[in-house]
A and B are shown apart, each in its own frame.
Chain A
Amino acid sequence: MQVILLLAKGATEDTVMKKIFIYFVFSLLVVQAGFAQVDRSKYPEPGPAPEIKIGEAETFTLANGLKVFVVENRKLPRVAFSLVLDRDPIFEGDKAGLTGFVGEMMTAGTKNRTKDQLDEEVDFIGASLRASSTSIFGSSLKQHQEKVLELMTDVLYNPVFPAEELEKQKKQALTGLATNKDDPDAISGRLVGAVNFGKNHPYGQVQTEESTKNIQLADIKAYHETFFRPNIAYLAIVGDIDKAEAEKLVKQYFSKWEKKEVPSFDYENPSKPEGINVALVDRSASVQSVINITHPVKMHITNDDYLSTQVLDYILGGGASSRLFMNLREDKGYTYGAYSSIGSDKLITRFSARASVRSEVTDSAVYEMLYEIRNIVDKGVTEEELESAKANLSGSFGRSLESPSTIANFAINTERYGLPADFYATYLQRLNDITVEDVNQAAKKYLNPEGLYITVVGNGSGIKDGLSQFGEIKMYNNMGDPAREVEMANEDITVEEIFEKYIEAIGGRENVEKVETAKITSSAEVQGMKLNLTSIHDEPNRQFAQSVEMMGNVASRTVIKDGKAKVTAMGQSQELNDEQFEAVKMSMFIFPELHYEEMGYTMEVDGVADVEGKDAYKVIIRNPTGSEIVNYYSVEDGLKLRNENPMAGDTTYEEYEEYEGVFFPTVSTMKSPQIPVPLKTVVESLEINTEISEADFN
């Protein structure tokens, strides 16, 4: 039950009563303090700013190059070991996503322990152990520190990378990719990376299904062999331990770690954008537009202007009292939140200003965001804004020091980036010394309102016109690639022609019309479990039945007969209402295209769209009650590629194969808000004009 405080706008009436309370603090025993005068009419003044004592980290280096930092903090009997690799960013190319697997694979079993044993041993001592491609972290109570080191170094030296574990991980990754392919925030993330840095840069590359499938065990082994080397590693030890003890332990566990030259990589910096570039991903299902106004920027913690840009960023869009938030949310009500950020990176980073806004106000929101960026560059910031930003930034710096790992990070950063030894000790002083002029100069130097990318993910048809006022719109697809130009191949094509071409493509009207009954079994996999689907069509009697089985049990069954549909699931039966029946009734036909007209549907062609890289005619089909579905037919070969149904979800058809002269899709992928991940079904058997009994429809 966190506090959610929303204050009515304008409700700032001032009822401060200028009253001074004089109060007697009466005490029998205490002779001092007879009176205490409290002026409640104003806030008490803060005391002198406290001296920030930043704890010292002790350091030593092993012969193999491992640099160790020890921060002794005896408050709690805990010790944490954090190993970090400092390597150049890697461009993974056709194996994009590779590094994402390394950590899970390293903790998936060693020469000495299976994965189960490892999990059990970690749990047994109440510890944590996790790894990534550039780190291993272990922590526990003091008394278990040696055990944690033993497990941690076992993972470091002896991972076995089981093949079945990689398969499992890849499957999960593919599920994740399929899910975020359509996620507007994920699309925006790919687009922003791609426009700023280009897809041939480590910060612009995109993991795809294909690149994921390309990843082999050997790649992960090679990565581990190449990059897990002490000469590029930092080990931070924080907690109930002193340098002498840490040194003894580190020597014992890390001395045998062999050093080896680690490759370094250079990348060409992306060119600065010229003028205003509008990049749009058309996502027709969107009701909100994800806006990110961005450009690459060189900024790193080592830069003299680093702190000025942090202050600048706070004033522009760092929090709930910053300009973007006040304008777009508090004043205009376009969005739940609007923020900005300026990164910090050795190589290159980016400025970005972002907000998710309702579709109708997309161009207005972009206009206001551009206004705020231009305004802060042209007019600068106020003294009051500067003071508030300083207070906020120094407050969070102070609070961060509570965690001893912050001290270790400071020590590592100082070493890693060659910062002055007193960099953090003087942090607050330097922050305090920043002037309005410093911030204004930083704004001019690092923000570039006349050379940037306006990236938008949203419903193109509704927002495209509005966005064109900012510049020429370049279309992109979900994966951050420029969208193919789709042109209407034949402006005058009719629905009848499209259907005829489709029927021709699947075997010709004569063959297709011969099909009266069909029994199709197919299977799908959900979270490691197999689903079996059986569909039986009986067109002459207008009957249809579909069962979904899981682990031998019928999970759901749908039956259409006598003009009604009944769904049974989880032991409950339900007859569909009229509206629901309308949505499912066409599925009783094997080829609904042959029946739309007689069933009273109306159809129209709505141009050509891109379906998984193919041009397809978009046909909108309206049923007599007015609801719509959309089918897509390939321009090139006439085959049906996709069906969009607002109630049942989207189904994509692939891999057409011939059965008795008629072609059926053997792979269909269904997406729906009702199911957590896309469901891919594969036909296992298909019988045409087979024996069907009345019992099939009970």
Chain B
Amino acid sequence: MRKFTLLTLLSGLLCVSTMAQNKIEFKEFTLDNGLHVIMHQDNSTPIVTASVLYHVGSKNEDPERTGFAHFFEHLLFEGSENMGRGEYMNKIQSSGGTFNAFTSSDITYYYQTLPSNKLELALYMESERMLHAKIDEVGVETQREVVKEEKRQSYDNRPYGTILLETLARAYSEHPYQWAPIGSLDHLNAASLDEFLQFYKDFYVPNNATLTIAGDIEYDQAEEWVRMYFSEVPKGGEVRRPNVNEPRKTTETRDVIYDNIQIPAVIQAYNLPKKTNNDSYALDMLSTYLTGGKSSLMTKELVDKQQKALAVAAMPLDLEDGGIFIMYGITNMGVAADDLEREIDNILTQVKAEGISERDFQKLQNIIENNLVSKNSSMAGIAQNLAEAKVFYGDTDYINRELDKYRAVTRDDIQRVANNYLTLDGRVVLHYLPKSAQQGE
């Protein structure tokens, strides 16, 4: 069914704010099998990005089979009924293109950027992946080894590499966010081929996918190819999503982790509202106020003036069902973790009590505006932002309204969210200490 949703130019008329964001035009339609397709035409450079966002992340996993979503991100480069092992990457590269993929708690995202005369190739390859990817013992065995190396390299062997894993495990008691996308190698080892095939059947279905094409395209031709290659992919069943309400924590969780590090670190994590909650914007601005840039509050106070920290960072990890506001500080030489934590808390207390100044608020708005504008500077960036707007916010045009959402945040909001969410009684506090300190106990 042809359902073009041509966007009106309403926002230009209704919005009186000094919008710095240029409008991103797009067309979209949905195939009968449920595949949602978004297209953005920009003929200025003869390249095109084609991406598929599968709305499956680690939160969709069976608690006894964690790591599946990320494992699939690897597995689905193994080939298809028509493409041999290793061909996927070679074909893209020898066609003058690049590719990559990632997995989060909420989504799995694949993309490739190619010369624009090879759009059909990209669509064919993505449709092969969706229609009949090759999932067999050889591929599973190969990728098990690769994921093992990835876990060693990125988590186990990397100083502070387990921060996210350890924090998530304590920040959630009920919700599947308690495990990170890398998951458990034991679970992957224990899984049978049938289980992998079932996961593919459950989640890698058109009604759980968003195909985005951005770049040097003709809308009609692109749509024709999409229909040609994707219409035959059978619709899947209803996609199961966790329906878990993480109970609000009332006591602080505090732990010490001994790691292969030389310098202690302090981690604090506070539970956040759902990604779509309006407070998300104020929380993002709050994190920028605390640690974004050379002249931010904590950087200036803790790193430059007091010299208690080598580095500090605060970042809201916003997730569909409510993520965490995670903050870490690495101590300077000779400074104890407790000492740094006390100073971090002092600053938080001060922000909660006093809020932020008008000048700092303006600075924040300027920085946010600059960041948002820069987000859409490449076809790959636009494709991803369009897809996420549709999947997370239910409306592709959110890409054009995001700045207004930030603009609606007031100084009071920033102080309010600091008080509402950065509460001492529900937070997780971890001290990362050198392993050598453990033996002394």
Using a CB–CB distance below 8 Å, which chain A residues touch chain B?
1-8, 11-17, 19, 21, 23, 25-30, 33, 36, 38, 40-53, 55, 73-78, 119-120, 123-127, 140-144, 319, 321, 388, 391-396, 398-399, 401-403, 526-529, 548, 550-551, 553, 555, 567, 569-575, 674
Complex partner residue of B20 from A1, A19, A74, A77, CB under 8 angstroms: A77
Of A74, A399, A555, chain B has the most CB atoms within 10 Å of the CB of: A399
User: Is B168 close to A, CB under 8 A?
Assistant: no
Complex partner residue of B379 from A388, A393, A402, CB under 8 angstroms: A402
B73 touches A399 (CB 8 A): no
Complex partner residue of A126 from B114, B116, B370, CB under 8 angstroms: B370
A570 touches B74 (CB 8 A): no
B437 touches A33 (CB 8 A): no
Cα-based distance from A142 to B229 in the complex (angstroms): 42
CB distance from A174 to the nearest CB of B (A): 19
Cα-based distance from A5 to B146 in the complex (angstroms): 7
Cα-based distance from A38 to B81 in the complex (angstroms): 14
Chain A residues with Cβ below 8 Å from B91 are 43
CB distance from A608 to the nearest CB of B (A): 35
Closest to B368 in A: A126
**11 A–B pairs (Cβ distance < 8 Å), ordered by A:** A11-B142, A12-B85, A43-B124, A44-B121, A53-B44, A75-B377, A123-B363, A127-B370, A321-B90, A395-B114, A569-B437
Given A126-B367, A398-B96, do A50 and B46 touch, yes or no (CB 8 Å)?
yes
Complex partner residue of A141 from B20, B83, B337, CB under 8 angstroms: B20
B window 132-185: CB within 8 A of A: 134, 138, 142, 145-146, 149-150, 154, 181-182
Given A396-B96, A527-B333, A674-B262, do A75 and B149 touch, yes or no (CB 8 Å)?
no
CB distance from B431 to the nearest CB of A (A): 10
Q: Mark contacts of B91-125 with chain A using CB atoms, 8 A cut-off: 1 yes-contact digit, 0 otherwise.
A: 10111111011111000000001111111110010
Q: Mark contacts of B356-389 with chain A using CB atoms, 8 A cut-off: 1 yes-contact digit, 0 otherwise.
A: 0001001100111111011011110000000000
Chain B residues with Cβ below 8 Å from A43 are 91, 121, 124
Cα-based distance from A44 to B95 in the complex (angstroms): 12
CB distance from A201 to the nearest CB of B (A): 37
Given A41-B82, A123-B294, do A141 and B370 touch, yes or no (CB 8 Å)?
yes
CB distance from A420 to the nearest CB of B (A): 22
User: Is B327 close to A, CB under 8 A?
Assistant: no
User: Is B278 close to A, CB under 8 A?
Assistant: no
CB distance from A71 to the nearest CB of B (A): 12
User: Is B249 close to A, CB under 8 A?
Assistant: no
CB distance from B35 to the nearest CB of A (A): 13
Cα-based distance from A73 to B378 in the complex (angstroms): 13
Given A1-B182, A321-B90, A392-B96, do A123 and B295 touch, yes or no (CB 8 Å)?
yes
Chain A residues with Cβ below 8 Å from B134 are 15
A46 touches B22 (CB 8 A): no
Complex partner residue of A27 from B1, B101, B336, B367, CB under 8 angstroms: B1
Closest to A673 in B: B262
Given A23-B231, A394-B96, A551-B334, do A44 and B437 touch, yes or no (CB 8 Å)?
no
B231 touches A25 (CB 8 A): yes
A44 touches B149 (CB 8 A): no
Chain B residues with Cβ below 8 Å from A73 are 44
CB distance from A85 to the nearest CB of B (A): 26
Chain B residues with Cβ below 8 Å from A33 are 224, 227
User: Is B427 close to A, CB under 8 A?
Assistant: no
Q: Which 7 A-B pairs have the closest CB atoms?
A: A395-B96, A574-B440, A126-B370, A50-B46, A550-B334, A555-B334, A23-B232
Of A40, A393, A528, A575, chain B has the most CB atoms within 10 Å of the CB of: A40
A7 touches B142 (CB 8 A): yes
Cα-based distance from A30 to B224 in the complex (angstroms): 12
User: Is B238 close to A, CB under 8 A?
Assistant: no
Chain B residues with Cβ below 8 Å from A78 are 370, 373-374, 377
A120 touches B295 (CB 8 A): yes
Chain B residues with Cβ below 8 Å from A27 are 1-2, 32
Chain A residues with Cβ below 8 Å from B77 are 3, 5
B window 223-258: CB within 8 A of A: 224, 227-229, 231-232
A46 touches B117 (CB 8 A): yes
Given A8-B142, A569-B437, A571-B336, do A126 and B2 touch, yes or no (CB 8 Å)?
no
CB distance from B28 to the nearest CB of A (A): 17
Closest to B79 in A: A15
Complex partner residue of B82 from A40, A45, A573, CB under 8 angstroms: A40
A125 touches B336 (CB 8 A): no
Closest to A50 in B: B46
Chain B residues with Cβ below 8 Å from A52 are 46
Chain A residues with Cβ below 8 Å from B362 are 124
User: Is B439 close to A, CB under 8 A?
Assistant: yes
CB distance from A547 to the nearest CB of B (A): 12
Using a CB–CB distance below 8 Å, which chain B residues touch chain A?
1-2, 18, 20-22, 32, 42, 44-47, 70, 73-74, 77, 81-86, 89-91, 93-98, 100-104, 113-121, 124, 128, 134, 138, 142, 145-146, 149-150, 154, 181-182, 216, 224, 227-229, 231-232, 262, 264, 293-295, 307, 332-334, 336-337, 359, 362-363, 366-371, 373-374, 376-379, 433, 436-437, 439-441
B117 touches A119 (CB 8 A): no
Known: A4-B146, A42-B82, A526-B333. 9 other contacts (CB 8 A): A1-B103, A3-B74, A23-B231, A47-B120, A53-B46, A76-B377, A78-B374, A391-B94, A392-B96
Closest to A548 in B: B334
Closest to B2 in A: A30
CB distance from B54 to the nearest CB of A (A): 14
A572 touches B20 (CB 8 A): no
Given A11-B86, A36-B227, A126-B370, do A398 and B46 touch, yes or no (CB 8 Å)?
yes
Chain A residues with Cβ below 8 Å from B366 are 124-126, 141, 144
B96 touches A38 (CB 8 A): no
B231 touches A398 (CB 8 A): no
A391 touches B96 (CB 8 A): yes
B437 touches A572 (CB 8 A): yes
Cα-based distance from A660 to B89 in the complex (angstroms): 74
B138 touches A11 (CB 8 A): yes
Chain B residues with Cβ below 8 Å from A126 are 363, 366-371
Cα-based distance from A25 to B232 in the complex (angstroms): 7
Closest to A28 in B: B1
Closest to A402 in B: B45
Cα-based distance from A51 to B86 in the complex (angstroms): 31
Cα-based distance from A55 to B182 in the complex (angstroms): 44
Cα-based distance from A551 to B96 in the complex (angstroms): 57
Closest to A47 in B: B117
Given A11-B85, A29-B1, do A36 and B369 touch, yes or no (CB 8 Å)?
no
Cα-based distance from A255 to B95 in the complex (angstroms): 48
Closest to B307 in A: A529
Closest to A36 in B: B228
Complex partner residue of B440 from A2, A6, A401, A573, CB under 8 angstroms: A573
Cα-based distance from A367 to B436 in the complex (angstroms): 44
Chain A residues with Cβ below 8 Å from B332 are 527, 529
A36 touches B82 (CB 8 A): no
CB distance from B201 to the nearest CB of A (A): 19
B373 touches A141 (CB 8 A): yes
Of A7, A29, A41, A143, chain B has the most CB atoms within 10 Å of the CB of: A7
A75 touches B95 (CB 8 A): no
Of B45, B104, B293, chain A has the most CB atoms within 10 Å of the CB of: B45
Chain B residues with Cβ below 8 Å from A403 are 377-378
A574 touches B439 (CB 8 A): yes
Closest to A23 in B: B232
Cα-based distance from A553 to B440 in the complex (angstroms): 20
A76 touches B1 (CB 8 A): no
CB distance from A144 to the nearest CB of B (A): 7
A7 touches B74 (CB 8 A): no
CB distance from A549 to the nearest CB of B (A): 8
